[in-house]
C-alpha cells in the first residue's frame, strides 16, 4: 500500500472500537488516486481496538477517547475535527452513541455502516436476532447518522441470503465481506458540502 498525496480528497475521520477491518479496507481504497477520501484522523473509544494498529502503521493521527464524560470528550473530538479540517466522519464499528449536539454540529457529514438491512435490526446482536427470527435475507446498510439510532437516510444496502447452516458467527463473516464492498461504494455515492 502506497500513500498518495497532493490530491484533492475529502478529509475524513474514522471512528472505531474494534478490529477495524472496515477502517483497513477504507484506508486501502483511500490510497487510490480516484477514491474521494483521505483518512486524516482516527478516533477510538478504547485502547483495546485492534484497528488502531492500522493508524500506527500508516502514521495517521489518532486519539483514544473513552467518551465517559460525553460532553467533555465530544468537545475534544470537535476540536480535533476542526484542527484536522475533517469534512466527513465514517463510523466503522464504533460502539458509542454520539450526542444530538455532536450530530447536529456535523449534520449530513457522519455516515455509519450497520450489519443489517435497516430499518430492520437496529442496535446490537443483529446476526443472532436475524437467525432466531428465521429471516431468509439479511445484509448491511450504509446510512447518514441522525439523532435516532441507526435511523438516518440510507445511502446503500446490500442484501444476502441467510443459509440454513448459518450461525451468528458465519453470518457475521459473510456480511462483513459485503460491508467491505458496500462502504467504499457508498462513499463514492455521497456528495459532501466541503
Ligand atoms: C461491522 O460488522 C460493523 O458493521 C459493526 O461492527 C463490525 C465492525 O467490524 N458495526 P470492523 O471493526 O470494521 O472489523
Whether the predicted pLDDT of 30 surpasses 60? yes
For 75, the grid coordinates are 468537545
- Would you please indicate which residues are annotated as catalytic (active-site) residues? 114
15: CA distance to ligand 1 center in Å? 11
Work out the percent of the chain whose per-residue pLDDT is above 90: 94
Whether the predicted pLDDT of 157 surpasses 70? yes
Identify the pLDDT of residue 191: 81
What is the spatial distance between Cα 37 and Cα 13, in angstroms, rounded to a whole number? Answer: 10
pLDDT average, residue stretch 47-61: 98
Asked whether the CA dihedral 54, 57, 63, 65 is positive or negative, the reply is positive
Ligand 1 pocket test target in 141, 176, 178 with most atoms within 8 Å of CB: 176
78: CA distance to ligand 1 center in Å? 23
Q: Is the CB of 21 under 6 A from ligand 1?
A: yes
Amino acid at each position: 500500500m502506497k500513500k498518495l498525496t497532493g490530491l484533492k480528497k475529502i478529509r475524513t475521520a474514522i471512528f472505531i472500537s474494534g478490529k477495524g477491518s472496515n477502517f483497513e479496507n477504507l484506508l486501502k481504497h483511500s490510497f487510490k488516486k480516484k477514491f474521494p477520501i483521505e483518512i486524516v484522523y482516527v478516533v477510538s473509544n478504547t485502547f483495546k481496538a485492534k484497528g488502531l494498529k492500522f493508524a500506527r502503521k500508516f502514521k495517521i493521527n489518532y486519539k483514544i477517547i473513552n467518551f465517559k464524560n460525553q460532553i467533555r470528550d465530544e468537545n475534544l473530538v470537535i476540536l480535533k475535527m476542526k484542527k484536522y479540517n475533517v469534512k466527513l466522519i465514517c463510523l466503522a464499528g464504533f460502539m458509542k452513541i454520539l450526542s444530538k449536539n455532536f450530530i447536529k454540529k456535523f449534520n449530513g457529514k457522519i455516515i455509519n455502516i450497520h450489519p443489517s438491512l435497516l430499518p430492520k435490526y437496529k442496535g446490537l446482536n443483529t446476526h443472532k436476532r436475524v437467525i432466531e427470527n428465521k429471516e431468509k435475507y439479511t445484509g448491511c446498510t450504509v446510512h447518514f447518522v441522525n439523532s435516532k439510532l441507526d435511523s438516518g437516510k440510507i445511502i446503500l444496502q446490500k442484501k444476502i441470503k441467510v443459509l440454513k447452516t448459518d450461525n451468528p458467527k458465519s453470518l457475521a463473516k459473510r456480511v462483513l465481506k459485503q460491508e467491505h464492498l458496500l462502504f467504499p461504494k457508498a462513499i463514492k455515492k455521497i456528495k459532501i458540502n466541503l
